[in-house]
Amino acid sequence: MKQLFSSIKDEVMADSESSPSAIPPSPVSESSVSLAFSRRKLMAVLTAIGIGGQVFHRALIAQVVNQSTVTKEMIAAAQWIADIELNPEEQDDIAKALQPVMEQLTKLRNAAIDADTVPAIVFRPDHFYSQATQANKVAQLSQSKDLLVSWSVERGSKRPSENELPFASVSQLASLLATKRISSHELTQIYLRRLEDLDAQLKCVVTLLPEVALAQAKESDQRRRQGVTVGVLDGIPWVAKDLIAIPPWKTTWGAEPFKEQVRDNEATVSQKLRASGAVLLAKVSLGALAWGDKWFGGMTRNPWNLDQGSSGSSAGSASAVAAGLTGFALGSETLGSIVSPCRRCRCCGLRPTYGRVSRAGCMPLAWTLDKIGPIARYVEDLAYIFPALLGTDGKDPSLVERSYQWPIQRAWADLRIGVAGDLSETEQQVLQLLQAEGTTIIDFDSSMTVSPSELGFVLGVEAAAVFQSQFRQDRNADYGLWTSTFLHSPFIPAIEYIQANRLRGQLIIEAEKKFSAVDVVLGGSDLLLTNLTGLPSLVVSCGTQTIDGKQLPGVIKLTASSYREEMLLHVGHKLQKILPPQPSIPF
């Protein structure tokens, strides 16, 4: 193998020196080979060193560039490019996995892309300048600009029963704390007991933090006795999806290879919630490396049906909220990881516009898709949690500053609601309500000129890049559902990734135009579309749905154009007030 790479290096250098248009020579190693020469030269080199046979030619040239059939033999011949040693069974599995991807790439190559079309990837040199000058310094967090959030204490309401209290809204709990009908210490103890008692059934707790929680609750109570509070979340217990780094405790990413991992830098969202006075109860489960609801501790369960997984990957966050184990939670979404578990566990979740909430200190899965958002029992809860997460931190270059106001006032008759064609039972009920209220209803067509399905491989390529170092070191470790993706993604040509992101830019433009024509869209199976384009979505628990003879809360999904989270929350809150979720307690 050393001789192989040495020969290639010599040929590359010779090609560079003989051609005035070639790029300057650069060092070539066994793990990183510069292939910056023409296809003709590549073939000449391969033939000269004895690996230019017909099968390899097909694998490297005809297959990758022109054809749409992938065979085991082609993978075996081309695996050196990906720097992966594969056994025959893995070669066969990868060939099967790549077949649909190659079909997508064929469509991608046939797409007409104008030279002025830039990829949907932003390069920010100034971000790295600031990182260089801030080396070994703690980044300064700033509150987002133009935040107008009002909250009033409910003084007349009575304290809920012991059975109802864990399921109260954030606003109710904040009012109980403000009027001293409960202390943060007492509330924290209630949630800690429930986490301990019910985790055996739900399997949602990765690391319980009772000492931390009680200490933070004590600090909140002390502030309140001194007549000082830091906002509506002061003293409210919460749980963190265990891809959010909070040292010195473990951040396991839900995967066996990382179960003892401690990340040194605290996530920005954790810092912001700590500054808001929220009380951290626990780190909770996610599907291994943010896929599904199975992690190294088992499968996290749906509180409404313990025979069923809670869906993922924010499995523990949604399960804990629905079961009344916490005041609220944080989750994350790359492709459905807030929306899906909130639907399954019948709670509320906000997936913000891409770039609104810092991901710094959170496990990256796909840099151009990852988003952090809150999960709670009521839409109004989300409206108070969301602004606490906003603001720059000097660490995440994707952050965009936008104003936020809560509450806002818009009558039903002033709203334009787009309706997708595939509504759930509860969404049908909501549509009837909207029509009765005089809302303008518009048939919404989410089909796009650029097919999102042809761009979906972008996620796998980015995820494989994140974990390639660990995966190369230990291919036999348990990476959950990701192993196949980590194996076949290195065979995706880099140019196709760039071209996909250029088409993704066109998709963003088209989607923004369509979604901007309405205030919100009700329903729709559009997770790939809206995640690729970075649009915000909201899951609302409302009304009642009967499944297999059992009454459960219904759920709906609302989506809006970029940076319109306050409109999503406004519509969702109005609907939830008219159609409160019934029943509201799973057990």
Sign for the CA dihedral angle at 463, 464, 468, 471 comes to positive
Of 268, 266, 237, 236, which Cα lies nearest the Cα of 251? 266
Residue showing tokens 């989410």: 446
Give the Cα separation of 245 and 252 in Å (integer).
Answer: 9
Burial class (CB in 10 A: 0-12, 13-18, 19+), 114: exposed
137 an active-site residue? no
Sign for the CA dihedral angle at 327, 195, 225, 182 comes to positive
Selecting among 337, 398, 489, 537, the annotated active-site residue is: 337
Of 314, 344, 339, 340, which Cα lies nearest the Cα of 329? 314
CB atoms within 10 A of CB 587: 9
Give the Cα separation of 433 and 414 in Å (integer).
Answer: 15
Give the Cα separation of 86 and 90 in Å (integer).
Answer: 6
CB atoms within 10 A of CB 451: 17
Q: Amino acid identity of 444?
A: F
Selecting among 144, 270, 313, 358, the annotated active-site residue is: 313
Residue 191 corresponds to which tokens in the numbers above? 């949630």
Please tell me whether residue 535 adopts helix, strand or coil conformation.
coil
Is residue 375 within 8 A of residue 343, CB to CB? The reply is no
Is residue 331 within 8 A of residue 350, CB to CB? The reply is no
Residue 489 corresponds to which tokens in the numbers above? 């993604």
Of 121, 178, 44, 90, which Cα lies nearest the Cα of 498? 121
Residue 379 corresponds to which tokens in the numbers above? 């839409």
Is residue 72 within 8 A of residue 88, CB to CB? The reply is yes
313 an active-site residue? yes
34 an active-site residue? no
Residue showing tokens 């600031």: 130
Selecting among 144, 175, 241, 285, the annotated active-site residue is: 241
**Catalytic residue ranges:** 241, 313, 337
